[in-house]
Chains A and B, each alone.
Chain A
Amino acid sequence: DGGITQSPKYLFRKEGQNVTLSCEQNLNHDAMYWYRQDPGQGLRLIYYSQIVNDFQKGDIAEGYSVSREKKESFPLTVTSAQKNPTAFYLCASSWGGRRTYEQYFGPGTRLTVT
């Protein structure tokens, strides 16, 4: 089955620790995205990548880092510099390009930092 997988579904970390969220897709999509979702707010874009070995900051990139070494994978690291990391994180992918239509989303990871 083609799709996007995110692991784990729930993640708990202590404050001050870096944590990496996994996102893998087998849809052969060129573009991948990371969003953050907080209660009462819509999704906000953290980082996106339109091609391997290239990525751009979104609206709330501070305290996060990404890599895109393979087309299928786009891991997100939440660093200790992120002041309020507890949130729901969604990964998405799309074909990319001007006539791209929708983004396809993974099931998400709920990160709790205490």
Chain B
Amino acid sequence: AQTVTQSQPEMSVQEAETVTLSCTYDTSESDYYLFWYKQPPSRQMILVIRQEAYKQQNATENRFSVNFQKAAKSFSLKISDSQLGDAAMYFCAYRSWNTDKLIFGTGTRLQVFP
């Protein structure tokens, strides 16, 4: 069975600085999808970024980018120029190619200080 591990329960960053959140996963599959979701205090889950395993290029969405290391089964999220609105829980999630089911990590709480 696939598992997703987020080893950093909490992280903090100063406004305008850069922070990296870690995620590792375990799978025997070669085709899958990876996601980062953000859950602000409102508790609405918002998709931040996604990565298809067959793509070698790391995904980027404005200030958010990933470092996808397929061989190492690592999928970290980098937030550049951090803003106060980035403060939230961040969840890493895995989806196999042949199922709609998402498997989530336990989350990392990010605090942003002015």
A residues at B contact (CB < 8 Å): 31, 33, 40-45, 48, 50, 58, 88, 90, 92, 94, 96-98, 100-108
Contacts and interface: CB of A to CB of B under 8 A. Distances in A.
Interface of B: 4, 9, 33, 35, 37, 42-47, 50, 91, 97-98, 100-102, 104-107
Contacts of B45: 43, 90, 92, 105
Nearest to A100: B100
Contacts of A98: 97-98
Contacts of A104: 47
Shortest 8 CB-CB contacts between residues of A and residues of B:
A42-B104, A105-B45, A102-B47, A43-B104, A42-B106, A31-B100, A108-B43, A107-B44
Contacts, number: 50
Contacts of B101: 45, 48, 58
Nearest to A101: B50
A22 to B, nearest CB: 16
Contact of B100 (A41, A43, A50): A50
A103 B102 contact: yes
Q: Mostly helix, strand, loop or mixed at chain B's interface?
A: loop
Nearest to A97: B100
Contacts of B50: 101-102
B4 A107 contact: no
A88 B43 contact: yes
Given A43-B91, A101-B33, A107-B44, 20 more contacts: A33-B100, A42-B4, A42-B106, A42-B107, A43-B45, A43-B104, A45-B101, A45-B102, A48-B101, A50-B100, A88-B43, A90-B45, A92-B45, A98-B97, A98-B98, A100-B100, A101-B50, A102-B50, A105-B44, A106-B44
B69 to A, nearest CB: 21
Nearest to B45: A105
A50 B98 CA distance: 13
Given A107-B42, A108-B44, A102 B107 contact: no
B59 to A, nearest CB: 11
A4 B68 CA distance: 31
